[in-house]
Amino acid sequence: MVEEVFVDSMRRIALTALAASALAAAPALGAGPATTTTPTPTPPAKPAYIQLSNETTFSRWAYTNLTLKVRKGPSSGARALAKLHFNTEDGPPEVYLALQEYTNNSDVDWVQIRIPGRPNGRIGWVPREGLGEFHLIHTQLVVNRRTLRATLYKNGKKTFKAPVGVGKASTPTPAGHFWIREKLKGFGPVYGPLAFGTADYSNKLTDWPGGGVVGVHGTNEPNLVPGRPSHGCIRMHNKDILHLARLMSVGTPLLIL
């Protein structure tokens, strides 16, 4: 009798457990068929322009990494304007002033740069890999041809000012936005103890060796500064160019008014 009661109890327990399992597996009353949630795809990143230089209080420059073509727009299909090169006409590494970077979440980012050479003022785009690492500086040199003064700013504040000699009427110093590309010595007494090569090119030949480039340099004729004695270059008293060299590095934006 006891065995029958035990067996009957075990049977009820088993049936109760089986019913509970079936109920748990069944869909809720009134519920529709099971659905699978598909993740919402992430939209592609919007094209973005990142400012690299304002050419007054902060600027970035870079050396050449690859001799790629400089194009009119940030695309490999845009018209070629020039080509990156490793060295200036005088031999030192070429310096490119970077204005902004463009990205659209593709494999290639682009950098907008100022292009040295004639005609002055050209701007173009190169793949980011064409340039080396960016160097950040906070200086700007302003040369005023009317007042015959050069002024160096750091973080927007004046740190240096000196008289200059600029191009005569027949061979003027071209105005515009440029930058300092190189620092040189050993040109001889005509150029003083030191000279800076710029990205400004004269419309005619300057007194720079090889012609063309507008330089910022010392002089062996200090009595002509301030004035308009040159073929396009910017002359300073020797003590002033040496002082400027201690405050200003290559890559510094140059504004000629």
Per-residue pLDDT reduced to its tens digit, 185-222: 887 888 899 999 999 998 876 666 666 899 999 999 99
Q: Which residues participate in catalysis according to the annotation?
A: 217, 233
Nearest to 213 by CA among 169, 239, 182, 246: 182
* DSSP label of 13: H
All CATH 2.40.440.10 domain ranges in the chain, comma separated: 138-256
List C-alpha distances in Å: 220 to 32, 61, 84, 143, 181: 95, 32, 35, 20, 23
As given in the structure block, the two tokens for residue 113 are 């740069």
pLDDT of residue 29: 40
The CATH superfamily holding the domain 138-256 is L,D-transpeptidase catalytic domain-like (2.40.440.10)
pLDDT of residue 188: 81
All CATH 2.30.30.40 domain ranges in the chain, comma separated: 48-136
pLDDT of residue 20: 47
pLDDT of residue 18: 44
pLDDT of residue 255: 98
How far is it, in rounded angstroms, from Cα 235 to Cα 195? 9
List C-alpha distances in Å: 28 to 25, 33, 34, 221: 9, 10, 11, 100
CATH number of 48-136: 2.30.30.40
CB of 86 closer than 8 Å to CB of 67: yes
As given in the structure block, the two tokens for residue 121 are 């003022």
Nearest to 94 by CA among 52, 126, 142: 126
pLDDT of residue 38: 52
